[in-house]
Structure 1
C-alpha cells in the first residue's frame, strides 16, 4: 500500500492587519459613526420638511370627518371618539425640550393636572430623563414619529421605521411602549383627506390609535397669554383635546398661559386627565422587558455618547482654531521680524568665522546618494574636512567614497549601531572645534557650510539650524513636502529663533560647537529623534540655538506614501519621546529653563496636539456639507485655507521660492493633512501602549543635486575646494 508523498509546500500564512493600522482605522470608523448618529438624532439625516397641501376628501368616511379627534382604525375598524364633557386632555407636541418641558411639567404638577406628551424620537433620545419624568409623574406619552416628517409623503417602510425608532427611544428612556400616535402637521378630524387617510388606516393596522385635536391654542404663533387661553378654552363645558407645544421655540407664553388656564378651568368644574382616563380605556403604556428594553437602553447610551463625542470634537475644533490662528499670527509677525533682523545692512553674529569645520556624514546603505553628497561638499567655499561614517552598510557605500580618492575625505567604518552612534564615532575622529552634521542623502550648496557656521561668531551660540529644502519636488508628494518644509519647518524656525526656543536642529543640515556637544554627552540614542533630543539638551545646558536661513541643504524626500509614512511616524514618535525625556525643563529656572517655559509647551501644542486635532477642520467641513449649514461651512473652510495660503505665500517669498508649487496647497490640506493625522495618531498609540519603534531605512534614488556641486566628470579634479590640512 503506497502512501501519499508529503508536500513540502507550506500553507500560505494569512496576513493580519497590523495593530498600528487597525487601531487608527477603528477609531476613525467609530468617530464617523458617532457623527452620523449625531446627525441622525438631530434630524440632519433623513429629515424631510415637506408639507402636503390639502387634498380631496371623497375617500374619507363621513363619520371620520364629522367624528371626534380620537380615530381608531385597528383591526379594520373606522371609528372615532370624543372626550366627555368637562374633561380636558392637554396635549403637548414636539418635545421634550430641555428648557420648556420641565417648566410645563412643574406647572402641571403644581395644579395636580395630567396631560399627554407626543414626543419625537429625536428629542426623546437626547433627553430621556424628561420622558421618564413624564411617566413617573403620571402623564401619558404618545409617538410623534422620529424625525417629524409629513407621513403622507413617506413609504410604508419609512413609516414603520419612524414608529419603531420612536418606540425604541421610549423603551430606553422610560421602559415602555405606547399605543398613542399623533401625525406631524395634523389638525382637526375634518381636515383628514385622501392623502392622510390611507396613512391613518395603515397606522391603525400597526396597533396605534391616532389622536388629533379639536381645540388648537395656536401657542406656536406666540399670540399672547390671553389669546392662548381664549383659544384653548372649549365652549359650553364641552370636553376637548387641546393642542399645545412644549418644544420648537420660545414657549414662555405657553407656560404662563397654563399657570392661569389650569386653575381657571378647574374652578369651572373641568378635570385635566390623561386620554385613556378621559375615555375610560386601558392605559396606553405597556412595560417592555428583555431584548426590547436592552435595545432601548443601548440606543439611549449610544445617542448620549455621540452627543458627548460631538461636544468634545467641538471643543477640540475651538482649540485647534485658537492654536492655528495663534501659530499663524506668531509666524507672520516673528518670521518677518527675523528676516528684517538678519537681512538688515551691517548685521553680523560677531567676528567672521573662518576656522575649519569637520563635516560628519553618517551613512547606512546610501550607495545611490553618497557620491552626490560628497561631491557637493567638495565645492564648499569654507575649509572643511569630510568624515563619512559607514554604519555597517551592505551595499558598498564606504567603498564608493574610498574609490573617489578625494582629498580631505576620510571614511570611518563601524558595525551597524544606529545614527547617534555613528555621529559620536565621527565626533571622536573629528579634528575641528566646529562640527557640521548632515544626512547621507543630502547635498550642500557651495556656501552652505560658510553660512551655517557664521552664527558661532556669537560665543553664546551652541548650535545652528540650517535651511533644509526638498530637492525632488516635481512629484505631487514632493510638492506637498516642499510646501511643508518651506512653511511648516523654516517659517517655524524663524519664529522659534525669535522666541529663543528652537526645538530641532535638522539632521539634514546642522552645526554644533564640539564643546557644547561634549558637555551634554554627545548624541543620545534615547529617542528616535536624536536631532530634537540633542537640541533640547543644548537649551537646558544654557546654549543658544539659532537659524541660518542662507545655509541651504537639499534633501531627498520620500517619494511614496509608504516611505513618507515611515519617516513621519519615526519623527512624530521621536518628538514625543524627546518631549517626555526633557519634561523636567518645565520646572527648571534660569536661562536654561526658558526652553521649558516657552519652547517645550510650544512644541507640545504646535507639533503634537495641533496636528492631531487639525483634521477636525475637515471633519466638520464634511459634516457641514452633508448636514448643513452648507454655505457657512464652505465659507469658514475657505477662510482657513485662505489664511494658510497667505502664510504659505509669505514663507515662499521669504525663502525666495517660486509660487507655482502652491497650486497643490488645497489638495495638500485635504489629503496630506489626513495622512499626517493618522501617522501622529499611530505614534500616540505606540507611545501609550509602550511600543518601541525601530529605525526604518528609506529607499533613495540619488537624483538630488545642489546648485554649484562638482559634476561627476570632475571627480579627479577635487582640488577646487579647500581641504583641511
Structure 2
C-alpha cells in the first residue's frame, strides 16, 4: 500500500497520472474577450462597476507595466540546476523577478523556493502538476491550486495572489475556454498573469533570438515570459544575462510584477495549519520521489540478479549433468567383476501423521524395490487421529514395522525411527510419497564415498492435473531440482528434502540427530551435517513422487511452514558464514539474497513495473518483462529436458508469473514478519487427497 501510494503521488506530481493535455478549441469572441485580448498581461477578470464618468467601464480590467519597467517571469521551476544559475545572474545585475512555480517542484526543492523569496523575488502559482486548467474539472483545478499554495506555505511560510495557468501565454491568444478559467481563478482571489513578450526559450531558438524576443519596443514596459525548468536552459541563463545588461543600458529597471504594478507584495503570510500541511506535503512528495528512485534501482537490480541467477544456475546445472554422466561412465569402466556395486542394507524411516490415504502406497513402493540388499521399513505413527498406523500394519509386509508414539512433531518421529533402525544407511521418506523401484539403489550410490554424509533425491509432483499442479511441477523442476544441481556442484546443498533423502548414521549421530528447533527439520539437519564437515550430494536419478497441495489455502500453509522454517534454520546456523568451507558463504548467501530479500521486494517491483507499463512508455517495461519471460522459458525447457520431462507444460509458465509467484512473495513477507515479531509458528499440516492410493 505504501509503495502504491508513493507511486500515485509521484505519478500525479510528474504529470504521469491524470495528465490533461491542452485541448484544441475555437478562438471564440465576446466583448469581454476582445477587451482582454487588446489589454495588458495582468488581468483582473471580475466585472468592474461602471463609474459616473464612464458607464462603459464595465468588464475585465487589464494592467500593464509602466514605461521602461520589465518584469522577468520564469515558469515551470524551481529546478536544482537552472534556477540557482538564474538567481545568480539576477543578483549580479541587481534585478528582481517573478517565478511562477510548479507546486510539485516546490515540494521537491523547498530550499530553492525559500531562496527565491529570501533574495527579494516573487513566487506565483503555476499549478501543482503543470496541467491545463481549462481542460480539467473544477475540483481538479481547485486541488492543483490548493496543493501549490500548501507547498509554497510549507517552504516559505507564504501564500501568493499571483497565478499563471499553464499553456496561457499572451493576452491576444486567450481562447473562450481559457477566459472561463480566468474568471474562475479571479473568483478564487487570484490575479491572472500572462505576458507581453513570450521568448519561446523552451524551444532553444538561440541566445540572440531570446534576447531579441524579450526586449520591449521603444521604451515600453513589459512582462517577459521565460522558463527556469523543463529541459536544458543554458540558453535562457545566457540570454537573461545579456538581456539585463541591454535593458540597463537603455534605462530599464527589472523588478517583480507586484512592485512594478504598484500592488505592494504578492505574498501574504500563511496560517499555521497551511504551513503544517505544506510541510507534510513536502515530506510526502520528497519521500515518494525517493521511493520511486529507489524502486527503479531495485527493479533494475532485481532484474539483473534474476537474469544472472538463471544463466549461472543453468550453466552450473549443465556442468553438473556432464560431470555426473562422466562419473557414471568412469565407474562402469572401472568396475571389476569381482567388486559388486555399493549396496549396503538400508533402513527406511516413514514419519506419518494422518496419512491414511497415502500410507499404503508409500509402504508398497518401498517394499516393491529392485534394491538387492535388505530393506527395513519403519513406519512411525506420530499420534495420528486417523487410521494411519492400522492401515500400515494391516499390509503385513515382510520387513515392515509400525511404531506408535504420542504426537511430538516430525523431527521427534524421525528420531524415534532412527533409534530403532538396524542399519548404517538411513533413508527418510514422507508418508505421502512413493519411490520408483530403482530409487533406493540410485539414492544410496553416492554414499560409497565415505566423505558423503547425506544424499538428496529428485522430488517430483505426482498430482499434476489442474493449473496449480502444473505450477508446482514447474517449480519443483525449474526451481528445486535445477538449484540442487548447481548447489551440488558448488558443494553447498542447503536442504535434503524430507520426501527423499539418504543419510549415513555416523553423520546423523555427529550432529545429535534431528532437532525440533525449527519447522524445517530437513533444512536444519542438512545445514548441521554440512557444518560438521560432511559432503551433501544430489542424485537426480533417485526419483520420488510426492503429493502436492491441491488448493491455494493448502499450498499457503505448506509454503508458509517451509519458508518460516528455512529462515529459522538460517538464523540458527548463521555462524556458518564465518566458518571454513563453502556451505556458509555460498548457501546462506544464496538463500538470503534469492529466497528472502528479492521476494520481499518482489511486490514493490511488480507494482513499479505495472506503473511503468500504464503511466509511462509501455514498450520498455513490456520488452523487459518479455525478455525475462523468454529467458525463464528457455531455462524451464532446459530444466525439463535434464529431468526427462515433457516441455509441453511450459504453457503454464506465463500464468505462473501472475498468480503463483505473487503468492510466494506474500508467503515470504508473512514469514519475515512472523520471524521479526518473534512469533512461534505452530506446525502446519495439509489435507491429503490420496493421489497414489
- TM-score by shorter chain over 0.5: yes
Secondary structure (helix, strand or coil) at the match of 1:84 reads coil
2:349 match: 360
Shift of 1:599: 2.0
Secondary structure (helix, strand or coil) at the match of 2:379 reads strand
Shift of 1:107: 1.6
Aligned equivalents of 1:347, 1:547: Cα separation in 2: 18
1:512 match: 503
1:718 match: none
Do 2:157 and 2:269's aligned partners in 1 also have CA atoms closer than 8 Å?
yes
Question: Is residue 143 of structure 1 aligned with residue 125 of structure 2?
Answer: yes
| Partner of residue 564 from structure 1, selected from 555, 561, 565 | 555
Aligned equivalents of 2:367, 2:546: Cα separation in 1: 17
| Partner of residue 555 from structure 1, selected from 527, 543, 546 | 546
Question: Is residue 470 of structure 1 aligned with residue 461 of structure 2?
Answer: yes
1:30 match: 2
1:377 match: 366
Do 2:515 and 2:521's aligned partners in 1 also have CA atoms closer than 8 Å?
yes
1:386-397 maps to which residues of 2 (within 5 A)?
386-397=377-388
Aligned equivalents of 2:204, 2:598: Cα separation in 1: 46
Question: Is residue 535 of structure 1 aligned with residue 526 of structure 2?
Answer: yes
Do 1:615 and 1:673's aligned partners in 2 also have CA atoms closer than 8 Å?
no
Do 2:33 and 2:176's aligned partners in 1 also have CA atoms closer than 8 Å?
no
1:720 match: none
Do 2:3 and 2:607's aligned partners in 1 also have CA atoms closer than 8 Å?
no
Secondary structure (helix, strand or coil) at the match of 2:659 reads helix
Shift of 1:609: 1.7
2:329 match: 346
Q: CA RMSD in A?
A: 1.7
Shift of 1:571: 0.9
2:314 match: 332
Gap change, CA 1:59 and 1:466, over 3 Å in 2:
farther
* 327-336 or 150-159, which deviates more: 150-159
* 478-487 or 55-64, which deviates more: 55-64
Question: Is residue 160 of structure 1 aligned with residue 142 of structure 2?
Answer: yes
Question: Is residue 623 of structure 1 aligned with residue 611 of structure 2?
Answer: yes
1:544 match: 535
Secondary structure (helix, strand or coil) at the match of 1:269 reads coil
Do 1:75 and 1:204's aligned partners in 2 also have CA atoms closer than 8 Å?
no
Aligned equivalents of 2:96, 2:84: Cα separation in 1: 14
Shift of 1:347: 4.1
1:539-618 maps to which residues of 2 (within 5 A)?
539-589=530-580, 593-618=581-606
Shift of 1:443: 0.9
Question: Is residue 664 of structure 1 aligned with residue 646 of structure 2?
Answer: no
Aligned equivalents of 1:154, 1:440: Cα separation in 2: 65
Shift of 1:434: 0.5
Aligned equivalents of 2:515, 2:312: Cα separation in 1: 31
Secondary structure (helix, strand or coil) at the match of 1:264 reads helix
Secondary structure (helix, strand or coil) at the match of 2:264 reads coil
Secondary structure (helix, strand or coil) at the match of 1:366 reads coil
Question: Is residue 299 of structure 1 aligned with residue 288 of structure 2?
Answer: no
1:33-67 deviations in Å (ceiling 9; x for gaps): 11111111111001112342551334544332221
Aligned equivalents of 1:393, 1:152: Cα separation in 2: 73
1:489 match: 480
Aligned equivalents of 2:267, 2:437: Cα separation in 1: 86
Length, aligned pairs only: 674
Gap change, CA 1:678 and 1:457, over 3 Å in 2:
same
Do 2:201 and 2:236's aligned partners in 1 also have CA atoms closer than 8 Å?
yes
Secondary structure (helix, strand or coil) at the match of 2:650 reads helix
1:636 match: 624
Do 2:356 and 2:387's aligned partners in 1 also have CA atoms closer than 8 Å?
yes
Aligned equivalents of 1:516, 1:193: Cα separation in 2: 86
Shift of 1:617: 4.4
Which runs of no fewer than 5 residues in structure 2 stay unpaired?
49-58
Aligned equivalents of 2:165, 2:607: Cα separation in 1: 35
Shift of 1:155: 2.9
Instruction: Tell me the TM-score normalised to structure 2 length.
Output: 0.94
Aligned equivalents of 2:354, 2:177: Cα separation in 1: 77
Gap change, CA 1:472 and 1:456, over 3 Å in 2:
same
1:205-284 maps to which residues of 2 (within 5 A)?
205-284=187-266
Do 2:3 and 2:604's aligned partners in 1 also have CA atoms closer than 8 Å?
no
Gap change, CA 1:59 and 1:430, over 3 Å in 2:
farther
Gap change, CA 1:381 and 1:59, over 3 Å in 2:
farther
Aligned equivalents of 1:254, 1:101: Cα separation in 2: 11
1:702 match: 690
1:8 match: none
- Off by >4 Å, runs of 4+ in structure 1: none
1:142-163 deviations in Å (ceiling 9; x for gaps): 1112222333333333322322
| Partner of residue 45 from structure 2, selected from 41, 56, 73 | 73
Aligned equivalents of 1:654, 1:624: Cα separation in 2: 37
Instruction: Tell me the TM-score normalised to structure 1 length.
Output: 0.90
| Partner of residue 45 from structure 1, selected from 17, 21, 27 | 17
Secondary structure (helix, strand or coil) at the match of 1:563 reads helix
Gap change, CA 1:697 and 1:155, over 3 Å in 2:
closer
| Partner of residue 447 from structure 1, selected from 438, 458, 461 | 438
| Partner of residue 652 from structure 1, selected from 630, 637, 640 | 640
1:115-168 deviations in Å (ceiling 9; x for gaps): 111112232232222222212222111111222233333333332232222222
Do 1:41 and 1:125's aligned partners in 2 also have CA atoms closer than 8 Å?
no
Shift of 1:194: 2.1
Aligned equivalents of 2:250, 2:281: Cα separation in 1: 45
Do 1:74 and 1:208's aligned partners in 2 also have CA atoms closer than 8 Å?
no
* 387-396 or 66-75, which deviates more: 66-75
Shift of 1:371: 0.9
Aligned equivalents of 1:439, 1:348: Cα separation in 2: 31
Secondary structure (helix, strand or coil) at the match of 2:356 reads coil
1:676 match: 664
Shift of 1:611: 2.4
| Partner of residue 425 from structure 1, selected from 393, 416, 424 | 416
Aligned equivalents of 1:454, 1:616: Cα separation in 2: 45
Shift of 1:336: 0.8
Gap change, CA 1:262 and 1:273, over 3 Å in 2:
same
Aligned equivalents of 1:352, 1:138: Cα separation in 2: 93
Gap change, CA 1:314 and 1:193, over 3 Å in 2:
closer
Do 2:469 and 2:548's aligned partners in 1 also have CA atoms closer than 8 Å?
yes
Secondary structure (helix, strand or coil) at the match of 1:631 reads helix
Aligned equivalents of 1:146, 1:114: Cα separation in 2: 24
Aligned equivalents of 1:58, 1:643: Cα separation in 2: 64
Shift of 1:219: 1.4
Aligned equivalents of 1:282, 1:458: Cα separation in 2: 93
Secondary structure (helix, strand or coil) at the match of 1:624 reads helix
Do 2:295 and 2:608's aligned partners in 1 also have CA atoms closer than 8 Å?
no
